[in-house]
Structure formats: structure tokens, C-alpha cells
Amino acid sequence: MTLQAGQGAAGPAEGAGALLPPGAGCAPAPLVGLVDWRLPCAGPAALEVARRAGADGVQFDLGGPGRAAPLDGPGRLPALRDGVEATGVRVLAVSANCLNDIGLLAPEGSADAVRVRGVLERLLDAAVELGAGLVLVPSFRRSAIAGGYGLQRTAEVLRRAAAEAQARGLLLANENVLPPDAASALVEKVASPAFRLLLDTYNPHLAGVRVPSLIGAVARHLADQIHLKDGIAGTGRTPLLGDGDGEVDETLAAVARHGLCPRALVLENDYRDGDTTRMAADLARARRYARALATGPAGPGAAHRGIDDNSHEKAST
């Protein structure tokens, strides 16, 4: 279920992964996308990379110091809109990854808290201008949620931001690595119909959280896009999707089992080295997972079996 900018966030089920009766499949199958912060280029140039790779859409980072050029810099948002029209690649969401550098936990009234508020305003404005219905607010590094103060302060910031998102017809999703009880508590504290949790298939796993169990606890609060990522703990290596220790098959089987039908599966493996062969292989696997979700609960668990036969399907040109 997709919420477009300007529609309004009417209720807690709107814009979440559409809840289907257990056993039903997604119709249509989820889109498959990329994130520009894991590509060799960012902003408008990422649309052409996605088109050549055969992706349906891209999540864009707002950029900032030490990151890509600001997405909302002079002329860049109009250029991005033109690129969408030229390539047919969708803008899936806009993320403010620089918040990991500033810190959502900054005390109210501090200079960093003022910076956080400014970034969130820019994030929401950019999403509206690009027609993206979803904005992403991450909670890592300086924004990592730890302890009671971390949970409370994060909820305060997100509650205000979610209210502003709802007023613009947007949904706001937070990505974190909280265990199920704390993730549920965050949703309760934010208490906004425009608030969601962004599911990532690997980050919680690295923090010791079993992602299939997390889905069972927070399914109704998940955003309609999922980050697909895999790894091999302790190695720094990025294997092909499903070849690592991230339980990708089990996670997507849990998505289907709980009746979720996401709008998009978005790859967040690292392709900044320009390895288009590996990107194409991961996109082919993500597309198989998307098709498997369309078949219902039995699909995702079986999607990876025998996948090596076609894991290097050619990208579109």
C-alpha cells in the first residue's frame, strides 16, 4: 500500500506494508530498488545507474558534510525530477543519514538539537518536492538508541517530526537495531499514525536481534519498504544477497507469514566500488524474492534454493 505525497496519513495502517490474510501473496510483486548512498554516484546520476541495472526505484540520501552534495542544493531537486521523467526510475524515499553524525539524542535547546530540527525540515520538504511518500530517519552512531534516556529523547524528536510529516502527507520511518520490546515501546511513545519502523534484514542481526522474531512483534508498524542486506560477521565482506549469515530467506519468509506485502525491496549492499556484475546478481536475487512474496508464505523460503543457476542474470541496458 503506497502513500503518495499530498494524500495525507489517515490512519495507522495506511502506508505500512499492506496487511494481507496469512497465505495470501502480494499483488503486484514488490518493486526492487537501490539506495544512492551505496552507489558510486549519488543524486540525479544514481537514476541512470539504476536504470542501466534494471532497478525500479532509488532511495536518496539528503547528503551533507562528509557525504554526498546536498540533495536539495541549488538546482538539484529539479534535476532529479527531470531524471525521474527521463529514466522512468522512481524516487522511493528520502533519508537523512547525516543525522547519524549529529545525533537525535542532542538535548533540547542545544546547538545540535537545532541542527537536527533543521535537517528534518529539509528532509520533509525534499520528499514533498520529489513526490516521495516516505522519509527515513536512522538511529545509528551518534543517534543510536541506548537506555531509557535514548529511547525517550528519540521518541520526543520523532513525535514532533512525525506530526510535521503527517501535515505534509508523508510517512516517517525510523531504522534502528532495538529488540522487539524496545521497538514496540518506541512506537507507543511516538504515538503517531504517520510513524513507522524501517525493517533491515541485517543490521538488527549484527546487534544480536533475530529479525524474523522482530517482525512477529512489530509487523503492523513496519514501513512499506524493506532494506535487503547481507554480510558475514567479523569479515567486512559483502557476499551476494542470501549467501551470508543474515538469514535473508528466513526474514522474508517471516514477512510473508505475517501477511505483509511491502511496496519495495531495496538493496543496501555496498556497490560503491562500481562492481556492476555483483549489483546485477543481487538485483536478480532481490527480484526473485519479490516474485516469491507474490506467491505467499512458501515462496520466500524457497526463493534462494537453486538461485545460483541464474544469480548473474544480465542487467538491462
Please confirm, yes or no, whether 268 is among the known catalytic residues. yes
H-helix segments, 10-110:
44-53, 76-87, 99-102
- Fill in the amino acid letter for 177: V
Q: Domain ranges for the chain, please list them.
A: 18-300
Please confirm, yes or no, whether 164 is among the known catalytic residues. no
Instruction: Give the Cα separation of 202 and 31 in Å (integer).
Output: 20
Would you write out the chain's pLDDT as a tens digit for each of its 317 residues? 222 233 333 333 334 455 555 556 788 899 999 999 999 999 899 999 999 999 999 999 999 888 999 999 999 999 999 999 999 999 999 999 999 999 999 999 999 999 999 999 999 999 999 999 999 999 999 999 999 999 999 999 999 999 999 999 999 999 999 999 999 999 999 999 999 999 999 999 999 999 999 999 999 999 999 999 999 988 888 899 999 999 999 999 999 999 999 999 999 999 999 999 999 999 999 999 999 999 876 556 555 543 333 443 333 33
Q: Which of 85, 156, 175, 188 is catalytic?
A: 175
Q: Which fold has domain 18-300?
A: TIM Barrel (3.20.20)
Instruction: Give the Cα separation of 245 and 80 in Å (integer).
Output: 36
Helix (H, G, I), strand (E, B) or coil at 97: coil
Single pTM value for the model: 0.89
- The owner of cell 525534499 is 126
Q: Which of 85, 188, 250, 268 is catalytic?
A: 268
